[in-house]
Every structure is written in C-alpha cells, then in structure tokens.
C-alpha cells in the first residue's frame, strides 16, 4: 500500500478509533463504579437474649429552650429579615449532638451543636438558609444559650454564587446539615455536611491547605467538612474530610447523617447510604457503613469501608419499609452505641427512635423497645457517668415538630454483654 493510500485509509479510521476510545473509557468508568462496593462483614447470629428488667428511658424530663437566633444571611449580609428568634415558644431545632463534662468545660457542663430548621416553605427551599451549625451551652440540660464569643451560626448559609444545581436546568440551592462532633485529646472535632456547594467556594471559606486543594478539585453534591477547637469558642477554618464523589462514595450518594467517634486509637465514621446502586448486599432501603481515619481528616474510601450488620431489626416488625434514616454514634468504655431514627427511607423521613450497641463497631444488637414510636428525627445519646457496672446517659430527643426534649437513662454492662454473647 503506497503512502497516499495508507494516509487516506488511516483518515477514514480516525472516527472509528475515536468512538472506540470513548466506549472503552465509558466501559472502564462503568466497571469502576460497579467495583466500588463496600465490604460485607459476615453477620453474627442472634442469641435471642433480650436486655431484661425495667427500662428507664421512656420519660422526658423537660423541654429545651435554646435562647439563640437563627441567622439565614449569606456571608457579608446582615438583613434582619433573615434573623429569627427560635427560643420558646418558637421551636425550630434539628440535628442535636451533645458533649457532657461532669466538671464543666469553659464554664458549662453541656455543649451542644445543632442546626435550626424552620420547615420547607412552599416550593422555595427557604428552610435550608437557617440550617447552619450552631453552638449552645447549658448547665442543666434544659436551658441553653450561646457561649460568649462564639459566632451564631458558626458557618453562614451558602450564597447562590456558591451553589450549583443538582442537575442541568434545576434550581440552585446549597445548604449545610447533619452536624456531629467529638471531644478527644483536649479538642472538639466538628463535622458537618455541605450540599451542592462548589469546591471553589469551600476552598475560599476553608483552610489554605494541600488537603483542601486536593479534595476540592471538583464539585461534589455532598462534602463532609471538619473544624476543630480547643476551647469551643475559637475554631480552625474548615477542611474537607471526604465527598460524595468516587472513590469516597458511589457517585452522588447522599452520605446521610455521618457521625464520628474516637475510640482511643482511631476515628470511626458511621453514615447512612441510600440503597440506590448495586453497591450493597441486599434489598434494605438503606445501609449504614463504617469508615476509619487515623487523623480524623483522611477517611478510608468507600471500597475499604464496611457494611454494618444489625443482629436484629425491630423496626421491620413495625413496617417492612422502615430502615435507618439518620443516626448518631457514641463510643464509651469499649462500647459503640448508635442512636437510630428509623422510618420510610424512600419517603425521606423517620418515625421511631432506637438504641443499638456493639463491642466491635460492626455487629449491633438493637434494644427491642423504641425510645419513641413516632414523630422523631435525628436525636442523640451521650455518656454522663461510667463505672465498672453501668453507664449513665443523657439524651436529646428531637421531634419533627422542631422541639427538643431531655431524658436520662442507665444501661447495665453485664446485660449488654449477655445480649451480644455468641
């Protein structure tokens, strides 16, 4: 074949080669997505031992009054129309997480992170403007206020310029949600979720660090960020922990309600993933996965995460469509605890509140009697006193009406161990 004819032949092949390359790349991405599967840990069978005796966790002690303002202003704007009073009786509380200090910390025994939430107003997602991380403190668990010197909220609402649409042609909206914190090695580590916030906007708000440069290269529908503080008042700029992009998640999964604990050697993150892809072992509407980190910032990828097993699922006896929707995790004295708001995940809501417990953080037994049977959302349990026999807990029960109520209860370690024994 002479050079002219060969050149002509190659020219005719170019479009076919281009299509073949696109197909191979597309197929490679598809295979990569299919291979992005969390590890399914072999389940432990139920020994059918129930936590016996009288349960003392069913009575509310009182209703919280949080004397702070909900600020829905964007950065640099201070329009009083977007500042709302949410103390009694204007309840608008959501997503509590509490750290308790028996001898007080910086003047207070109870430290709480939460988000105000005023409910969706018509078709305009107005409520998300107020769903910003907010700190409150108390010495009795009932009456709360802002600690002196702390900004309210800790992070302002994302502006329209910082947002991107969920899909082409959709309206833009961005918001913070799902706050959660730990207290370890003398500092708070606060985590929360940014939704539909541009990577460039998060970099502008955050630390000028190699971590943020690397993790915020691309927009992600959800991004988990962290701030730390040694006094609860002065906070470091936000850092990205992980996002809803691969390899951290099957693309654009919700990474709902991530909750992090420190177990003395590493950080353990629990989160809810909706079952919307072939990445889970069964047909449950949602699954809880566990990922870990040595430094509280660099967490394991989705493929290295593990699917949490529930030895029993009492919520399915109430409604076969029920599954965990939002969670809050606690670690104390060798036990992992999950506060689980369960409901119809496919309708994006919860009803019932359960407590689950584990010694390995992967196989959980659930107390069969729920804390609340209806109208609850993401709530929290927190240890107050621990001895060789028992663990005393406080609880903030969050109702979908926007009200928080306070409870206290005690669990016996021998009874917990008996329920978990093989």
Question: 99-107 contacts: CB < 8 A, separation 24 or more?
Answer: 99/181, 99/182, 99/183, 99/188, 99/382, 100/382, 100/383, 100/384, 100/394, 102/384, 102/385, 104/139, 105/183, 105/232, 106/147, 106/231, 106/232, 106/233, 107/137, 107/147
Residue 35 is predicted with a pLDDT of 64
Segments of the chain scoring below 50 in pLDDT = 1-10, 12-32, 121-123
Q: Which segments of 245-387 does DSSP mark as H helices, in order? A: 315-318
Tokens matching residue 157: 């609402």
Residue 313 is predicted with a pLDDT of 96
Residue 28 is predicted with a pLDDT of 41
Residue 120 is predicted with a pLDDT of 54
Strands (E) across 106-253 are located at 108-116, 134-138, 143-145, 175-184, 187-195, 222-229, 239-243
Q: Are 326 and 97 in contact (CB under 8 A)?
A: no
Residue 261 is predicted with a pLDDT of 98
């Amino acid at each position: 074949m002479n050079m002219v004819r060969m050149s002509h032949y190659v020219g005719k092949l170019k479009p076919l080669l281009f299509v073949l390359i696109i197909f191979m790349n597309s197929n490679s991405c598809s295979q990569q997505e299919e291979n992005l599967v969390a590890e399914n840990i072999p389940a432990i069978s139920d020994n059918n031992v129930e936590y016996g005796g009288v349960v003392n966790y069913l009575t509310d002690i009182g209703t919280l009054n949080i004397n702070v303002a909900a600020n829905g202003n964007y950065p640099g704007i201070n329009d009083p129309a977007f500042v709302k009073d949410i103390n009694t009786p204007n309840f608008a509380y959501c997503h509590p997480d509490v750290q308790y200090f028996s001898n007080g910390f910086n003047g207070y025994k109870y430290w709480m992170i939460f988000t105000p939430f005023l409910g969706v107003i018509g078709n305009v997602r107005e409520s998300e403007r107020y769903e910003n991380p907010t700190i409150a403190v108390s010495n009795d668990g009932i009456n709360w206020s802002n600690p002196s010197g702390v900004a309210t909220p800790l992070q302002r609402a994302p502006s329209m310029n910082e947002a991107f649409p969920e899909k082409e042609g959709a309206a833009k909206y961005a918001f913070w949600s799902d706050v959660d914190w730990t207290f370890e090695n003398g500092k708070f580590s606060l985590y929360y979720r940014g939704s539909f916030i541009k990577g460039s906007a998060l970099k502008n708000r955050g630390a000028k660090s190699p971590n943020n440069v690397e993790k915020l290269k691309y927009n992600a529908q959800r991004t988990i960020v962290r701030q730390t503080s040694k006094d609860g008042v002065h906070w470091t700029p936000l850092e990205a922990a992980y996002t809803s992009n691969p390899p951290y998640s099957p693309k654009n999964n919700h990474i709902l309600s991530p909750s992090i604990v420190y177990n003395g050697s590493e950080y353990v993150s629990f989160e809810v993933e909706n079952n919307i892809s072939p990445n889970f072992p069964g047909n449950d509407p949602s699954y809880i996965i566990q990922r870990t980190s040595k430094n509280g910032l660099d967490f394991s990828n989705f493929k290295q995460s593990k699917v949490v097993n529930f030895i029993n699922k009492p919520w399915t006896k109430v409604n076969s469509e029920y599954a965990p929707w939002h969670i809050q995790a606690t670690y104390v004295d060798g036990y992992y605890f999950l506060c689980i708001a369960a409901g119809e995940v496919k309708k994006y809501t919860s009803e019932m509140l359960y407590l689950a417990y584990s010694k390995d953080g992967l196989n959980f037994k659930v107390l069969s009697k729920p804390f609340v049977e209806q109208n609850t959302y993401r709530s929290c349990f927190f240890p107050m006193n621990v001895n060789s026999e028992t663990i005393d807990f406080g609880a903030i029960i969050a109702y979908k009406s926007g009200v928080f109520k306070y409870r206290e209860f005690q669990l016996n370690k021998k009874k917990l161990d008996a329920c978990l024994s093989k």
